[in-house]
Amino acid sequence: MQNFIYHMPVKVYFEEKGVSKYLPQEMKKYGKNIMIVYGGGSVKRNGVLDELKAVLTDCGKNVFEFGGVASSPSYEKIQEGIALYKKENIDLMIALGGGSVVDSTKIMAAGAEIDGDIWEEEMVRHNIPETMGKYAVVLTISGAGAEMDHLGACTNEKTHEKKTFVGPYADFVIEDPSYLMSIPLRVFTPGVFDSLSHCMETYFGQGTNVWDEINESLMKNIIRNGRALMNDPDSMEIRSNLMWDSSLIQSFSFYTGKPGDFQAHGIENMLAAYTHATHGVQLGILQPVYYDHIVKDGPEVFARFAVNVMEVDPAGKTPLETAEEGIEKLREFIRCLGLPATFAEAGIEVTEETADAVSGTCNVTTTNVRQLTREEIREIILECR
């Protein structure tokens, strides 16, 4: 096991009606100017935005809204948010939404207390600001687990780069599973696979340790509840389990003591700079094809996954045969969630020029069972069409 330092400062309130119960006591710690960051119109239609604003107003706060954060957030939008933060002397931002909104708020917080440009500061100078803004999360859709970590990704539309920034941890998170109930399956299920993807990214990194066995249990829970969700989409118990699953994996405990395999994630990040497609959808297309390319280089770990997570019977099979059956079971689960198997099925256009650009610029993982060449990354992207 590698050496590590582990620190998880995020406080989570997991409870129905958690906003009205816990937000007033938290608001006593902050000044008067509160900025709510959110995405599209869903939080307006389902009343969650009005509920949050009412509680903040009752707490005597001045409420500022910053809406319109896209599912693949742009740096230009984040710059607008930073400008509003500075203009109104914001004391706390509240990310009201899921992974894209939380990521955007994190990056806004990273750039809120500096004079310069946060892209220039972190991506060019490689400096992490010593002072950052404060933010909290009211989670309305699960899957990304972004509420638990201090990393946020966004796309620079001018340069077609999607980069990950270091921001602060959330001061606190409120997870109300009742907020998930109005989310249609087509919107919710990409987050289910996103959670599973995060688990697999740590599991298939080099080496093994105690967290791998805990990870196996979490993956089985995601798969079991994901299947159950498709048969009983109105069960808050199922959705609440999936909500907490996604938070647990991004508590970063699973990352301690071993490196991960983030190759599929790296490809998807750069691809999203061109397609602006949903993160979990593109991961569901890319990940099985990526595993097809490397399974022969690590059949033992893929066979363990097949047996312990995907419940493949290994009797009479070689480790490679078992491993390959596990990847097919993974594909079956993706289909069970109603997710597309190809970019074409998803309505995503990926040209050869895009494949060239992505394969030429994405990060190449060195802590997986085998490092890919850039040509092979290009092949994987084109195979997914």
Instruction: Grade residue 2 by pLDDT with cuts at 50, 70 and 90.
Output: confident
Interatomic CA distance for residues 49 and 96, integer angstroms? 8
Q: In 10 A of CB 352, how many CB atoms?
A: 11
**pLDDT per residue as tens digits for the range 211-237:** 899 999 999 999 999 999 999 999 999
**pLDDT per residue as tens digits for the range 60-117:** 999 999 999 988 889 999 999 999 999 999 999 999 999 999 999 999 999 999 999 9
Quick one: average pLDDT of 225-253? 95
Question: Is the four-CA dihedral 231, 347, 72, 361 of positive or negative sign?
Answer: positive
Quick one: average pLDDT of 244-259? 87
**pLDDT per residue as tens digits for the range 13-70:** 999 999 999 999 999 999 999 999 999 888 998 899 999 999 999 999 999 999 999 8
Angle between helical axes of 299-308 and 319-336 (0-180°, round to 10): 50
**pLDDT per residue as tens digits for the range 323-374:** 999 999 999 999 999 999 999 999 999 999 999 999 999 999 999 999 999 9
Res 30: pLDDT:
98
Quick one: average pLDDT of 121-125? 96
Res 205: pLDDT:
92
Res 248: pLDDT:
93
Put residue 169 in one of left, alpha, beta given phi > 0 → left and psi -120 to 50 → alpha. beta
Q: How large a percentage of the chain has pLDDT more than 90? A: 88
pLDDT at 1 over 80: no
Res 261: pLDDT:
95
Highest CATH level, class, for 11-179: alpha beta
Quick one: average pLDDT of 241-249? 95
The architecture that CATH gives domain 185-383 is Up-down Bundle (1.20)
Among residues 11, 8, 7, 37, the alpha carbon closest in space to that of 175 is found at 11
Among residues 101, 81, 98, 166, the alpha carbon closest in space to that of 132 is found at 166
The answer to whether the beta carbons of residues 313 and 305 sit under 8 Å apart is no
Domains in the chain: boundaries: 11-179, 185-383
User: Cα 323 from chain centroid?
Assistant: 26
Res 295: pLDDT:
98
pLDDT at 208 over 90: no
